[in-house]
Amino acid sequence: MALLQISEPGQSAAPHQHKLAVGIDLGTTNSLVATVRSGMSTVLQDAHGHGLLPSVVRYAPDGKVIVGHEAQAQLSADPTNTIASVKRFMGRSLHDIADRAHIPYRFVEDDSAKKQVQLQTRAGLKTPVEISAEILNALKKRAENALGGELTGAVITVPAYFDDAQRQATKDAARLAGLNVLRLLNEPTAAAVAYGLDNNAEGIFVIYDLGGGTFDVSILKLTKGVFEVLATNGDSALGGDDFDHRIYCWVLDKVRETSKNFSPLNEEDTRLLLTKARQAKEWLTDNFEAQIVCKLSNGTMVDVTLTATQFVELTQHLVTKTLSPTRKAMRDAQLDITDIKGVVLVGGATRMPQVRHAVEEYFQQTPLTNLDPDKVVALGAAIQANALVGNRSDSDLLLLDVTPLSLGLETMGGLVEKIIPRNSTLPVARAQDFTTYKDGQTAMSIQVVQGERELVADCRSLARFELRGIPPMAAGAARIRVTFTVDADGLLSVSAREQTSGVEANIVVKPSYGLSEDEITRMLKDSFSGAEQDKHARMLTEARVNAGAIIQSITQALKVDGDLISTADKQAIETEIERLKATSQAGDADAINKAVDALNHSTEAFAQARMNASVAKALAGKNLEDIQL
Ligand code: ADP
Ligand code: MG
């Protein structure tokens, strides 16, 4: 993999010019803001001393917007106006989140082409961008209060697998909150920044991030200030919440054993028990047993004790489940356990001892835990923000991330030509020359696709645009250079330029639909299982495209120069053309190639005659001396 370097503006600022810059971890469950003070990255706290801000927004009846703990407390009382986990809806259409039918919100699709989801609340329709902007705004205010001034800029973190639409939505939310976005930074990279600089570490590292509702694993290569992401993987439906749910189910079983006539729980009781379960889970991280005591709305008393050992048994399968994406990432990066220099734990759920043990056992080493796992991303983002505004003299920090899926374009016959392979480091630019298929072709339609499969139909279409004004030329003569550029934030732009005339067209891709992580996983899985089938389909399509081009050029030549040969010869060629057309219909690439050979063979005399004719034409009226052989 080519290593592309980004050098950041490295101007150093005099101490009195110290600019206020923050790093923001906009998390699914919790969000944080951090800054570098006196050379130390620190999480900023609210007036109550909380560092973590629950990513929950409530539109209250009095018109106020409440963010954080207070909003979280109202989740069960006012579910449709209290929005949690909005990050899951960023840059998504209703179609993208169809599998999340159990979520209590009232979704509406916006009527633009993007079809992004909106949520119906008592304050009207709200987009995920607006809701996220409320969280960012709360953090911005917290930072301005703590730092006593206006912020110059912020680095905001996003999951490494976030696609273009999701990144764009995050940027939009930040702008809406009045933040100047210095850069979007991948969460694992931020964690690496926090550790890499603090510990002066080098080598290949694994970032294992188990948050509230998502699991992400990334493999990073660190060398003196250079961070390169080698691979990413994960599970978008696995996190600390699932551990809460296991305890919740266990408690319900216990209660059912003791009290007969136990009726199903209402929504409020469910929330209450889930909160109790979460508290018990967090308590068990440092204690041998947890007591769960509460009174349900029907009067039933709950009073049970869960031991740490029982909890480990209840949740072992969840811990094991994280290892499969981990293995896949290792396989993608073609690494062996022994190549891993260190493992960084990120996400509140990695505080659980059984998670730490599993990671330790798999990687055969003790994971790094000297920074708080739920703060490390914000701490790293703050370090990066501090460097980007020029507060540091050695601020040419290099950050390299990767594309989660290959990017390419459609070629004749619905085939995909990959331009930027999956896991390419960012930023990246790659160009490839293409040509026209027909004589005199003056326009070209360029379809940009994302995915690992060989056929366009199996990939996701991101955009389509046209290059017009190509000078008419013979098929195959035009040179059209198509350039794919993915910037440091992971946003793609594509341009096409005809080399002789210089006509150009381009597009910045903001796909209308985001790709869910599940889809990425599915597309990758399909590409493994579909490899053989794809190879076959590609060979067949290539044979057909080739046959089509040959038929076209021979038919054209016959039209112009058909009288150079006898009618019998001409008929023989036409017969072969018909035969090739018929063979092309069937699905055998070998047979098509053989028919192409037969057709070529039948045209040998004709080709000879055409050559003679054109030589004769060129020689007409010239002296022998003029002809240099
Ligand atoms: P996200 O990245 O999804 O915003 P976090 O990294 O903040 O999430 O992790 C939140 C999860 O961490 C929650 O499920 C929470 O219960 C869990 N968590 C926090 N502290 C502990 C702890 N001490 N022991 C076990 N789990 C914890
Ligand atoms: Mg997180």
Mind giving me the DSSP string for 597-627? Answer: HHHHHHTHHHHHHHHHHHHHHHHTT--GGG-
Q: Which residues contact 414 (CB under 8 A, 6 or more apart)?
A: 455, 456, 457, 541
Atom of ligand 1 nearest to the CA of 52: 7
- B/e letters for 588-599, b = 16+ CB within 10 Å, e = fewer, are ebeebbebbeeb
Owner of token pair 């793609």:
492
Q: Which residue's CA lies nearest to atom 25 of ligand 1?
A: 282
271: enclosing H helix or E strand: helix 267-284
**What value does the mean pLDDT take over residues 96-107?**
70
- Contact criterion met (CB below 8 Å) for 268 and 298: no
Q: For residues 37 and 23, what is the distance between their CA atoms, to the nearest angstrom?
A: 12
pLDDT in tens, 71-95: 999 988 888 899 999 999 998 888 8
**CA 386 remoteness from chain centre:** 26
Ligand 1 and 211: CB distance under 6 A: yes
Q: For residues 203 and 501, what is the distance between their CA atoms, to the nearest angstrom?
A: 48
- pLDDT level of residue 510 (50, 70, 90 thresholds): very low
The Cβ of residue 51 has, within 10 Å, a number of other Cβ atoms equal to 18
Ligand 1 and 285: CB distance under 6 A: yes
Range with lowest mean pLDDT among 248-252, 382-386, 527-531: 527-531
**What value does the mean pLDDT take over residues 298-303?**
88
Ligand 1 and 241: CB distance under 6 A: yes
**Whose CA is closest to 386, among 8, 51, 25?**
8
- Starting from the CA of residue 212, give the closest ligand: 1
- pLDDT level of residue 34 (50, 70, 90 thresholds): very high
CA–centroid distance, 28 to ligand 2, in Å, is 7
Neighbouring residues of the ion ligand 2, judged by CB less than 5 Å? 27, 211
Q: How many residues does the chain have?
A: 629
Ligand 1 and 490: CB distance under 6 A: no
Q: For residues 285 and 265, what is the distance between their CA atoms, to the nearest angstrom?
A: 28
Q: What is the pLDDT of residue 67?
A: 98
Supply the DSSP symbol for 502.
-
- pLDDT level of residue 525 (50, 70, 90 thresholds): low
CA–centroid distance, 347 to ligand 2, in Å, is 5
Mind giving me the DSSP string for 191-246? Answer: HHHHHHHHHT--EEEEEEEE-SS-EEEEEEEEETTEEEEEEEEEETT-SHHHHHHH
pLDDT more than 90, % of the chain: 40
Mind giving me the DSSP string for 123-165? Answer: TEEE-HHHHHHHHHHHHHHHHHHHHTS---EEEEEE-TT--HH
Ligand 1 and 27: CB distance under 6 A: yes
Supply the DSSP symbol for 561.
H
CA–centroid distance, 323 to ligand 1, in Å, is 19
Q: What is the pLDDT of residue 338?
A: 96
pLDDT in tens, 607-619: 878 777 766 766 6
- pLDDT level of residue 623 (50, 70, 90 thresholds): low
**In this structure, what are the phi and psi dihedrals at residue 46, rounded to the nearest 5 degrees?**
-85, -175
CA–centroid distance, 285 to ligand 1, in Å, is 11
Ligand 1 and 278: CB distance under 6 A: yes
Q: Alpha helix locations (H) across 305-374?
A: 308-321, 323-332, 353-363
pTM here is 0.65
Catalytic residues: 25, 87, 187, 209
Pocket mutation for ligand 1, best pick of 351, 355, 369, 376 (most atoms within 8 Å of C-beta): 351
433: enclosing H helix or E strand: strand 428-434
- What is the DSSP pairing of strand 504-508 with strand 340-346? unpaired
- pLDDT level of residue 10 (50, 70, 90 thresholds): very low
Amino acid, single-letter form, for residue 49: G
Atom of ligand 1 nearest to the CA of 30: 4
Ligand 1 and 91: CB distance under 6 A: no
Q: What is the pLDDT of residue 262?
A: 72
CA–centroid distance, 209 to ligand 2, in Å, is 7
Give the mean pLDDT of the chain. Answer: 84
CA–centroid distance, 239 to ligand 1, in Å, is 8
Q: For residues 80 and 77, what is the distance between their CA atoms, to the nearest angstrom?
A: 9
Atom of ligand 1 nearest to the CA of 27: 4
Range with lowest mean pLDDT among 53-62, 167-176, 483-492: 483-492
Range with lowest mean pLDDT among 282-291, 423-432, 529-538, 590-599: 529-538
- Contact criterion met (CB below 8 Å) for 24 and 154: yes
- pLDDT level of residue 433 (50, 70, 90 thresholds): confident
Q: What is the pLDDT of residue 8?
A: 32
Atom of ligand 1 nearest to the CA of 285: 24
pLDDT in tens, 222-244: 776 567 778 889 988 899 999 99
290: enclosing H helix or E strand: strand 289-295
SS (H, E, C) 369-386: CCCCCCCHHHHHHHHHHH
The Cβ of residue 120 has, within 10 Å, a number of other Cβ atoms equal to 14
Ligand 1 and 374: CB distance under 6 A: yes
SS (H, E, C) 455-471: EHHHCEEEEEEEEECCC
Q: What is the pLDDT of residue 545?
A: 81
Q: For residues 572 and 570, what is the distance between their CA atoms, to the nearest angstrom?
A: 5
Q: Tokens in use for 146?
A: 């703590």
Q: What is the pLDDT of residue 15?
A: 43
Q: What is the pLDDT of residue 392?
A: 66
Ligand 1 and 600: CB distance under 6 A: no
Range with lowest mean pLDDT among 215-219, 411-415, 577-581: 411-415
